[in-house]
Every structure is written in C-alpha cells, then in structure tokens.
Amino acid sequence: MSEEKINNSLDLDYPPHLLNIIVVSDGSTDRTNEILSRFQSDRLRVIYEQERKGKNQAFNRALELARGDVIVFTDANTMFAPEAVRFLVRGFADPRVGCVVGKLIYRNPKKSLVGNVEHAYWTLDNYIKEWEGRLNCLMSANGPIFAIRRSLWEPLDDVVHEDFIIPVRITLKGYFNIYEPRALAFEESTSSARQEFIRRSRIIWKGWEATWRVARALRRRFHPMLAFEIFSRQIIKRLVWLFGLTAFIVTLFLLSKSLYRIIFCLELLFLFSALAGWCFRKKKGFFRVFYYPYTIFLLAAASLIGFVKFAIGEKPKGVWAVQRPLE
C-alpha cells in the first residue's frame, strides 16, 4: 500500500469522526508495514497478518473490528474521488437498499494496449450496471468501490468473488442493490497481457464457483430477476470461448455456401491477426493494431482455462496482489 492511498483515504470529504479506516496488511513483504506504521491512529487501524491468507479472509478479519452501520470496501491500489463516500452513503437513506455500487474508472497512464482494451470493457460494464441499478436487478458490484449495510454482512470463504456473492446474498435477503455513478474511484489498467491472462483465468474460476453456489440457492428460493441476471451476465459472458469455437466448427461444415466461406475467411483473419499481435506485441507503430485481436483472443483463452479448472475441481493458485509498485 502506498502513502498516496492512505492520504487519499484520510482526506476524503466526509466527517472525520464518522469515518473509521481499517487496513489489513495481508502478509506484506514490501514496504507496506513500514508505511502503515507512520499513519496508524484512532482513525486508521491496521491489522497485521503474518501469513498471507487472501482478500476474503482480510475482509472477514476487518469486519470483526468494524463498528459503523455502513461498510465501504476498497482495494489498496484504488483512489477515491473526495466526495465518493458521501455519495455511497446517501443511497442508504432508502431502507430498502442494502448495497450501493460506485463507478470504477480505469486510467491508462502508460498507454498500454491491454490497458486500452480493459478501459473499454469497464466503460461498457459501468453502463450496464447503471441500467441494472435502474431496473433493481444489479447483482454484481465494482470490487474497489461499493458499500453495504453492516447488518447484512456474512463471512466469506476463499473461493468466491466478494463483489459478486455479497450483492447476491443481499438480494436474496430482500434488499436492493443500486448503482451510484457519482461515487467515483480510479485505478490503473494492467499493462501486461500475461498479468491480465493470469488474473482473468483466476477470476473466471471463482466466478463459476460462485455461480454454481447461487444456482443451488435458487433451487431453494427462486428469484426470477436474479436467475435472469445469473444467466445473462455471468454464464453467457464466461462462455464466449465456447460460442466462438462453436461458430468456427459450424462454419467448417457449411463451406459449400458462399456466405459461410466469407464468414470463415473473416474468422481466419481474426485468428491470424491475433497471432500477428503476439508476434509483434513489443513493436510500435502500425503493428499495434494487431494487439487488439491478440488481447481479445487471450482473454477468451483465459475464460476457457478458468472454466476447465472449475470443471475438474482444481483450485486457482495465488491470491490477489497489487500489481502497481509502491511509491
């Protein structure tokens, strides 16, 4: 954790006596503990874990000390706009609201191509979340910025995404999750395709595990809107690799028709462009255009790997870590 993040949290436009900050140093091996030791006070409490246990266990430990009626979740590499917490908390004026989700904006200061793709993806995702919130069918949060009522918290285990399972649990308890686009948070995009591949395959694995658990819960208590959301937003997008592979195979059997020969040529063009993107990934200028199909193919492959690991019961290796160096 950097000094910038700590100062960002302490300088939020919110009454200081109502804002308690809890930081979990989860087996940190960098300068995090040294930095935190200079800031620890009544407003900022630090939990030092010697053994690295992962993000969800860090949340469980922090919630043991949390005293407020509203809990705001964030990540160590995420910066809040000054008024972000104010906008999050305002949503709870409605007693039917159990979770308020803020807007996450990815910055790309290094101008990396994978960062451009990630920025485009999350821009679209924010639009979808806004409409889901208006329809009272928002079932997933932005992990680096969301808030819940303390009374609705349930401990997490290690193999589910907190920004998915927490809103789902709240929905099943009869509360709404809403989207607050004025509550802004900023994060740097991933600059390495390899990092994004590893991260995405782990996210997909955990997503399938959470989806499976929610599906079993729906068998006991069916929720039509939640079932639709799970199918449309969780299952379909994680099977993009299957749709692409199926389309390619079907096209092979229909090459006798001119339309499908054209489609097949376009499919081959995409695959060769992805291969060119890998070959020229360190080049600049014109060759950068091939990086986009390469990144899309890489993310689809990560979805496939994540699905296979879930299907065979293999647990993902590693835990969440900040990819940006300390300042």
Tell me what pLDDT residue 162 has.
Answer: 86
Residue 245 pLDDT > 50, yes or no? yes
Tens of pLDDT, residue by residue over 159-198, are: 778 888 899 899 889 899 999 999 999 988 765 666 777 7
Q: Is the pLDDT assigned to residue 213 strictly greater than 90?
A: no
Q: Please, which pLDDT band fits residue 209 given cuts at 50, 70 and 90?
A: confident
Grouping H, G, I as helix, E, B as strand and the rest as coil, residue 109 is coil
What pLDDT band is residue 154 in, cutting at 50, 70 and 90? Answer: very high
- Residue pair 264/252 in contact (Cβ under 8 Å)? The answer is yes
CATH number of this structure's domain 68-236, picked from the four choices 3.30.530.20, 3.90.550.10, 3.10.290.10, 3.40.50.450: 3.90.550.10
Question: For the residues 250-276, what does the mean pLDDT come to?
Answer: 93
- Where are the chain's structural domains? 68-236
pLDDT digits (tens, 9 = 90+) for 41-83: 778 888 888 888 888 889 999 999 888 899 999 998 899 999 9
Beta strands across the sheet bearing 70-73: 70-73, 146-149, 97-107, 176-188, 79-80
305: nearest Cα among 160, 195, 230, 197? 197
Residue 320 buriedness (CB in 10 A; 0-12 / 13-18 / 19+): middle
Contact 327, 2 (CB under 8 A): yes
Structure letter (DSSP) for residue 158: T
Q: Which two tokens stand for residue 225?
A: 């809107």
Say whether pLDDT at 5 is over 50: yes
Residue 97 scores a pLDDT above 80: yes
- Between the CA of residue 55 and those of 69, 153, 203, 305, what are the distances in Å? 22, 16, 13, 22
Contact predicate 190/295, CB 8 Å: no
3-class state of residue 179 by DSSP: strand
Average pLDDT over residues 19-42: 83
Higher pLDDT: 7 or 281? It is: 7
Condensed to tens digits (0 to 9), the pLDDT of residues 106-132 reads 876 566 666 666 667 778 888 888 888
What residues have CB less than 8 Å from 75, skipping those under 6 apart? 143, 144, 187, 322
pLDDT of res. 88? 96
Angle ∠(60,62,67) on CA atoms, nearest 5: 115
SS3 181: strand
Mean pLDDT of the chain: 84
Torsion of CA 226, 55, 12, 142, to 10 degrees: -30
Residue for token pair 């964030």: 74
Q: Is the pLDDT of residue 321 over 60?
A: no
Q: How many CB atoms lie within 10 A of CB 172?
A: 15
Mean pLDDT of 295-302: 85
